[in-house]
Structure 1
Amino acid sequence: MGAFRFDNILSSFRLRNVSTTNSVTLVLFSRINFQGSVRVFRGAQNVSNLGNYNNVSSSLIVVGRNLTNSQIQQIQNTGNPPRDILVIRQ
């Protein structure tokens, strides 16, 4: 998120997949390279306040499908997302 000057700034969001409404996952990580504590959001939703996670996110993954908890844990353990996810690094 540092590449976009958005590190530790996220406090709200709108999550949508226009082609398949409920097939979307947003994973927020508190540290860079998909590390640290995690918040997971699945399906279309509006979040106006992340509460104690406001201004904490340093990396994220958003995909137009539902990631399982196991897939998210593997991303966190390895620091590598699945091959079909675009990664932007600073």
Structure 2
Amino acid sequence: MVNNAGFGGYGAFELSTITQRQSMFDVNIFGLMNVIQEILPYFRSNNSGLIINVSTIGGLMTYPLYSIFHSTKWAVEGFSESLNYELKHLGIGVKNN
């Protein structure tokens, strides 16, 4: 299963609104988590599965004026790595790209 939904934003953090920040986290990290939670019972029943979470280069390095976007993508990287350790003994792999 490939998680590739997301959107970016550009601008100074101090000018962003809580609604803008919550919206980006809702899509880029919480949406990704929700999809995984829905597919996991199917993967568990088959004792196998592969989850690929697309985080972009934004999860590995940062650029000015993208602080909110980058923080969501770093969250995807950390979540993916941790979840891989949590699920690999069940035959379910988690990779990030």
Question: Which TM-score tier does this pair reach, normalised by the shorter chain?
Answer: under 0.3
Scaled by the length of structure 1, the TM-score of the pair is 0.27
**Which is richer in strand?**
1
In terms of Rg, which structure is larger?
2
**Which is richer in helix?**
2
